Structure 1
Amino acid sequence: MDTLQGRKLTVSKIQNSSEFLCFSSLITLSFSFSLFNWLVPSFDASFLESCECRKTRMWLIFKRLFNVSRKGTDKVPTGTDPFYCFTSVLSASVQIGMGIYLSIPKTEKFSEDGENDRLRYGLSSMQGWRATMEDAHAAYTDLDESTSFFGVYDGHGGKVVAKFCAKFLHQQVLKSEAYSVGDIGTSLQKAFLRMDEMMRGQRGWRELSVLGDKINKFTGMIEGLIWSPRSSDGDYQVDDWAFEEGPHSDFAGPTSGSTACVAVIRNNQLVVANAGDSRCVISRQGQAYNLSRDHKPDLEIEKDRILKAGGFIHAGRVNGSLNLARAIGDMEFKQNKFLPAEKQIVTANPDINTVELCDEDEFVVLACDGIWDCMSSQQLVDFIHEQLHSETKLSAVCERVLDQCLAPSTAGGEGCDNMTMILVQFKKPAQSSAQAEEQSSSNKQADTEIKVEKSDS
């Protein structure tokens, strides 16, 4: 029995000939693509996007996967390259083989509503024209007795990172020492960065396999055949994942990623954390204010960090590939061992914006770029106000927004993405005339202190 980096390498019994043929065929496929990799010329991301032939797109992505794997410990820990390549190729082949768009959009929606004594919310998500649904969300009116939590996570390269964040990010906020002393902003920042740490661990890898689609569950099963688990791993509870637990695994983490846009509301304080191009907008007296900034590579502050970390920007994409400068996951851009997480080519470090709420604040919207590609912040706020005249159910308002944004075809590109939106409306307490006058005065002061620019129409 061999050992590989301290782990026992076991040979699992093949139950029948069909399982053996399946397993051996997949290994052969992985080896074949590795061999042919040397024969394929190098292409950049812009050429890849221009390829209409699915086989060509698939071939170029295979090439990129194996280029990454050949770089050894800078990208993949020693000893895990074959398995890493194997699972990556399987996942990519399924996604690319399916194509980017469906012939008919999936317009079925997941919607829900909720409320407490301070606010109410509605949300809706729709797959649309995309071949897969990679968005996720989290909505908790009572994270604790005085705090509400809402998050939108827009995945890319797969859905697993978005789903991982939706399951664990709010838990890590709660477990942060900063949160326990009332520092919501710091607790959010730590939780964002913590997601990458957790996904690098072997336990994180298994959780990603469970959260993934069928092919990812299959690769998780293969991992189980190869690696013998520790005796202490059998009875752990993922919800009890300790905050201080650090990475202790040979796995480099997922190459897929996700944006994260989170709003935490406690009493009259709203704290927004954002990494990526999902967006949070507040409506104050009908005026839209952006509470987050879209993290595109061409922004000066993002470009400066990318270049200093050894990356480059081509065609508006980081290293010619990713069109985001900040994201959770995307570990191939976070391999510089001499830089902290905040200074990597792509970072999960969020912008934090804290706003004191006033009586003129009507609602907050969190949405992925599938919405913002079709509507400006002010256009969406205006549309919501219009819908609220005739519809009181907030999830129904969100559904109307999704229907409004859905493109009639895939010809134009806009309106063809996954769409997720959360609408949070503040409840207004009853006030006396004297209280209303005092509140009006404080609202004028608050309006001058809001930390973001008014949205363009």
Structure 2
Amino acid sequence: MGTYLSTPKTDKLSEDSENERVRFGLSSMQGWRVTMEDAHAALPDLDHTTSFFGVYDGHGGATLLSKVVAKFCAKYLHQQVLKQEAYSTGDIETSVRKAFIRMDEMMRGQRGWRELSILGDKINRFTGAIEGLIWTPRGGEASSKIDDWAFEEGPHSDFTGPTSGCTACVAIMRNNQLVVANAGDSRCVISRKGEAYNLSRDHKPALEVERERILKAGGFIHAGRVNGSLNLTRAIGDMEFKQNKFLSAEKQIVTANPEVNVVELCEDDEFLVLACDGIWDCMTSQQLVDFIHEQLKSESKLSRICERVFDKCLAPSTSTGEGCDNMTMILVQFKKPIQSPVSAEEVDDKLKTAG
């Protein structure tokens, strides 16, 4: 985590798109980090009524393995939301909860090993820097072609999953309903009449509800870190913290179980931001919303606004640590005024509770 390049990589990978409901721009930048450990997913048309946006920030252990976990989530989490039975009944909240937990289940065993290996091979085909993980299946088959994720016998069938992990913060919009699910310290913020409202909270050991779960599961907190190691209390992956066979996935020392916030959008809602902690280390939620508002006065391309946020956050040197992380940001603008069936006061109360 503390290893930096001599000069930052400021090349940015950016994208813009839109449909009848939203327009969005996104960008990612490696910065001072030796590797890029962020990943993202942006699907304005998850189905004909639903949009999905997510950011995933890898951490811990071998850096190449951590970004493989982030890429795994970017590839599969939204697919699993769609596959849940609850999704077909309109229960997005239950669907996204199960999809987060499902990520851990899918990364175990031979099938999980195989897919992580394929993703790892795509990331660094030549160095083999993910020690003991690079293993290409016969014919290099893509396991994503198989709908069923059944347990497979054979080499690595006892693989318990990756020791590295990633945060996950996703926003799913259907009609007036916005569902935000978060595990970790990536963050989702909405702007309402210029005010920033956090729709997620950072999962840190200082939170009492997190501390209680950690201690009950047999873990401890030292120097502000879980078991003296991880500075997050919820994440996908990090399987070394999820080995108690007598506890459910939701009650492990570190859990992939997300906090979910469901709000009704109204006509005062302007835009939504999803970003990894490389941004929030440098700007508060309100500072970012203010900056975006100022940029929107003269810039219509949303990805360019994301790029300018990175330039503003990027540290001139690595002496302080802030502004030295990978940076990923998705900016989603609501295209049409939304008439909310509930009062603005009720929505404001819900948003403030979430913050």
- The TM-score, its normalising length taken from structure 1, stands at 0.71
Q: Do 2:117 and 2:136's aligned partners in 1 also have CA atoms closer than 8 Å?
A: no
Structure 1 residues 184 and 222, CA gap change in structure 2 (3 angstroms): closer
Q: Do 2:205 and 2:233's aligned partners in 1 also have CA atoms closer than 8 Å?
A: yes
Q: How does 1:255-334 map to 2 (within 5 A)?
A: 255-334=163-242
**SS of match in other structure, 2:107:** helix
Counterpart residue number, 2:63: none
Counterpart residue number, 1:165: 73
Counterpart AA for 1:276: G
Q: Do 1:197 and 1:246's aligned partners in 2 also have CA atoms closer than 8 Å?
A: no
Counterpart residue number, 1:118: 21
Q: Do 1:356 and 1:446's aligned partners in 2 also have CA atoms closer than 8 Å?
A: no
**SS of match in other structure, 2:317:** coil
Deviation readout 1:164-210 (Å, 9 max, x if unpaired): 00000000000000111100010000000000000002111111112
Give the Cα separation in 2 of the matches to 1:140 and 1:130: 27
Counterpart residue number, 1:367: 275
Counterpart AA for 1:201: G
Q: Do 1:178 and 1:184's aligned partners in 2 also have CA atoms closer than 8 Å?
A: yes
Residue number among 321, 329, 338 corresponding to 1:421 in the alignment: 329
Give the Cα separation in 2 of the matches to 1:112 and 1:104: 25
Q: Do 1:276 and 1:325's aligned partners in 2 also have CA atoms closer than 8 Å?
A: yes
Counterpart AA for 2:344: K
Structure 1 residues 255 and 427, CA gap change in structure 2 (3 angstroms): same
Alpha-carbon deviation of 1:127? 0.3
Q: Do 2:264 and 2:347's aligned partners in 1 also have CA atoms closer than 8 Å?
A: no
Give the Cα separation in 1 of the matches to 2:135 and 2:336: 54
**Structure 1 residue 192 corresponds to structure 2 residue 92:** no
- Return the structure number with greater helix share: 1
Give the Cα separation in 1 of the matches to 2:158 and 2:53: 33
Residue number among 102, 111, 116 corresponding to 1:208 in the alignment: 116
Residue number among 323, 332, 344 corresponding to 1:444 in the alignment: 344
Deviation readout 1:21-51 (Å, 9 max, x if unpaired): xxxxxxxxxxxxxxxxxxxxxxxxxxxxxxx
Counterpart residue number, 1:241: 147
Give the Cα separation in 2 of the matches to 1:176 and 1:242: 13
Counterpart residue number, 2:8: 105
Alpha-carbon deviation of 1:211? 1.4
Q: Do 1:128 and 1:418's aligned partners in 2 also have CA atoms closer than 8 Å?
A: yes
Q: Which moved more, 1:176-185 or 1:248-257?
A: 248-257
Gap runs ≥5 in structure 1: 1-95, 432-438
Structure 1 residues 335 and 394, CA gap change in structure 2 (3 angstroms): same
**SS of match in other structure, 1:174:** helix
Give the Cα separation in 2 of the matches to 1:190 and 1:441: 28
Q: Do 1:197 and 1:247's aligned partners in 2 also have CA atoms closer than 8 Å?
A: no
Structure 1 residues 337 and 416, CA gap change in structure 2 (3 angstroms): same
- Return the structure number with greater strand share: 2
Alpha-carbon deviation of 1:155? 0.3
- The TM-score, its normalising length taken from structure 2, stands at 0.91
Alpha-carbon deviation of 1:252? 1.1
Give the Cα separation in 2 of the matches to 1:331 and 1:131: 24
Alpha-carbon deviation of 1:217? 6.6
Give the Cα separation in 2 of the matches to 1:409 and 1:454: 35
Structure 1 residues 452 and 201, CA gap change in structure 2 (3 angstroms): farther
**Structure 1 residue 139 corresponds to structure 2 residue 76:** no
Counterpart residue number, 1:385: 293
Alpha-carbon deviation of 1:452? 3.2
Give the Cα separation in 2 of the matches to 1:192 and 1:440: 29
Counterpart AA for 2:86: A
Counterpart AA for 1:101: Y
Q: Do 2:42 and 2:53's aligned partners in 1 also have CA atoms closer than 8 Å?
A: yes
Q: Do 1:359 and 1:443's aligned partners in 2 also have CA atoms closer than 8 Å?
A: no
Give the Cα separation in 1 of the matches to 2:349 and 2:57: 30
**SS of match in other structure, 1:422:** strand
**SS of match in other structure, 2:111:** helix
**SS of match in other structure, 1:450:** helix
Residue number among 331, 336, 342 corresponding to 2:244 in the alignment: 336
Alpha-carbon deviation of 1:453? 4.2
Counterpart residue number, 1:407: 315
Rg comparison, structure with higher value: 1
Q: How does 1:425-436 map to 2 (within 5 A)?
A: 425-429=333-337
Alpha-carbon deviation of 1:242? 2.8
Alpha-carbon deviation of 1:246? 5.7
Gap runs ≥5 in structure 2: 61-65
Alpha-carbon deviation of 1:297? 1.1
Alpha-carbon deviation of 1:442? 5.2
Q: Which moved more, 1:129-138 or 1:201-210?
A: 201-210
Structure 1 residues 239 and 450, CA gap change in structure 2 (3 angstroms): farther
CA RMSD of the aligned region, Å? 2.2
**SS of match in other structure, 2:352:** coil
Deviation readout 1:90-136 (Å, 9 max, x if unpaired): xxxxxx9xx71000000000100110001100000000000010000
Counterpart AA for 2:231: N
Counterpart AA for 1:149: F
Determine what percentage of the aligned residue pairs are the same residue.
73
Give the Cα separation in 1 of the matches to 2:131 and 2:240: 23
Deviation readout 1:283-341 (Å, 9 max, x if unpaired): 01111000001000111000000001000000110000000000000000000111110
Counterpart AA for 1:387: Q
**SS of match in other structure, 1:259:** strand
Q: Do 1:149 and 1:265's aligned partners in 2 also have CA atoms closer than 8 Å?
A: yes
